[in-house]
Amino acid sequence: MTTRTAQLPGSNDACWCGSGQKYKKCHRGADAAAGRSASAPAGKRVQPGDISPRRPVPAHIPPTDYAESGIPGPGVPGAPATRLLRLRRACKAAAEVLLESAAALAPGVTTDFIDGVCHAGYLRRGGFPSTLNYHGFPKSLCTSVNEVILHGIPDSRPLEDGDIVNLDITIYLEGMHGDCSATFAVGKTDPDSERLMRVTHEAMMLGIEAVRPGARVYDIGRAIQAYAERHGFGVVREYCGHGIGAVFHQDPTIPHYFDKKFNTVLEEGMVFTVEPMLTMGSPRIRSWDDDWTVVTADGQRAAQFEHTVRVTRDGVDILTRADATVA
């Protein structure tokens, strides 16, 4: 695999994290402690491939309210008494499809092929792909490779040995959306990419551990940001976690960085995603002209992990576990 060299800033240059401070006053110490070097490998820039037509969904599978129009509404109402049970089933199904899709990753496999594996996994469970035609998105999952932060569209590009790829899975099942994602290595990748993925997962889990009744939304972001920056990684700010259930995206907004404005008190029964996106270099972003694909501005790699969680009386319940017991 071809690599390029990612240069760290000079001491008096602006820090790569986008803080506006000089590098020596911001991340130089953390980078040195974490062993980051000026030659940390980053993958060659991802180029878009061809996008195949949308995959069909059988008529007997209940669709989202935006399946035809592309415009999400208030969601399809269901029996309130079974809301939590239906949500648990949707989240467990999403976790299972994530594992099935990840098992198909290999050098030479296209992300469009992974979309087909994912799509079939939804249908076998009687679920509809939540992303399909959501504001016009053409595929059944998001596949974000290397410097793609999120919303990558599955296409004809073959995955290469050493790539990393995030699979973002959301299924609409029994009137509920279950949402999760993880980043995986394709073949054998470099140590810096392995560390990026590990720290991103650990940061997500620390954010989830901050969830409990009486805590505030900003406690989640504070835990994630502190851990990420301690390890020399940037935290993307433009995209956040979100409430979820009968509606794909709803309140509350869950930033992955500390901002005291997000001071909503967490209460038992709240359901939302925690899904930090960390970057090897600057967390600044840019978008492709497909209006979906978001990449790092400096071309360095990004990783993301995501769970759907529920605030419980004593803490938090991770709903998107493939091994969850659901009645």
62 within some domain: no
Q: Are residues 19 and 101 in the same domain?
A: no
CA distance 299 to 280: 9
Q: Are residues 120 and 32 in the same domain?
A: no
Q: Are residues 262 and 314 in the same domain?
A: yes
Determine how many CB atoms are found less than 10 A away from the CB of residue 135: 11
167 within some domain: yes
CA distance 123 to 216: 37
Length of the chain: 327
11: confidence class by pLDDT, cuts 50, 70, 90: low
Q: What is the mean pLDDT of the chain?
A: 91
Q: Are residues 28 and 142 in the same domain?
A: no
Q: Which of 8-17, 55-64, 117-126, 292-301 has the lowest mean pLDDT?
A: 8-17
58 within some domain: no
CA distance 98 to 96: 5
Please name every residue paired with 173 in a beta bridge, in sequence order, or none if there are none: 176
3: confidence class by pLDDT, cuts 50, 70, 90: very low
Q: Are residues 16 and 128 in the same domain?
A: no
214 within some domain: yes
Q: Report helix angle 217-230 to 191-209, nearest 10.
A: 150
- Which residues are within 8 A (CB) of 140 and not within 5 positions of it... i.e. 6 or more apart? 55, 115, 118, 119, 122, 129, 131, 132, 154
pLDDT, position 15: 64
- Structure tokens that stand for 237 in this block: 């700010």
14: confidence class by pLDDT, cuts 50, 70, 90: low
How does DSSP assign 249-318, residue by residue? SEEEEE-SS--TT--PBP-TT-EEEE--EEESS---EEE-TTSS-EEETT---EEE-BEEEEE-SSSEEE
- Per-residue pLDDT tens over the stretch 174-199: 999 999 999 999 999 999 999 999 99
CA distance 321 to 307: 8
Please name every residue paired with 184 in a beta bridge, in sequence order, or none if there are none: 165
User: Which of 8-17, 22-31, 188-197: highest mean pLDDT?
Assistant: 188-197
CATH number at residue 145: 3.90.230.10
50 within some domain: no
Please name every residue paired with 185 in a beta bridge, in sequence order, or none if there are none: 164
Q: Are residues 125 and 213 in the same domain?
A: yes
**Range of 102's domain?**
67-318
Q: Where are the alpha helices (DSSP H) in 82-216?
A: 83-103, 111-124, 191-209
Q: Where are the alpha helices (DSSP H) in 210-253?
A: 217-230
Determine how many CB atoms are found less than 10 A away from the CB of residue 259: 14
CA distance 37 to 239: 28
Q: Are residues 24 and 134 in the same domain?
A: no
CA distance 139 to 264: 34
- The pTM of this model reads 0.87
Q: Are residues 111 and 186 in the same domain?
A: yes
pLDDT, position 326: 81
CA distance 313 to 269: 8
Distances, alpha carbon 270 to alpha carbons 131, 221, 264, in Å = 23, 17, 11
Identify the H or E element spanning 177. strand 176-185
DSSP conformation class of 143: E
Q: Are residues 275 and 202 in the same domain?
A: yes
Report whether pLDDT(260) > 70.
yes
- For the chain, the straight-line distance linking the first and the last C-alpha, in angstroms and rounded, comes to 47
Q: Are residues 214 and 101 in the same domain?
A: yes
CA distance 239 to 253: 9
- Structure tokens that stand for 261 in this block: 């404005």
Count of domains observed in the chain: 2
Q: Which of 26-30, 148-152, 163-167, 186-190 has the lowest mean pLDDT?
A: 26-30
CA distance 1 to 5: 13
* Residue 43 vs residue 124, higher pLDDT: 124
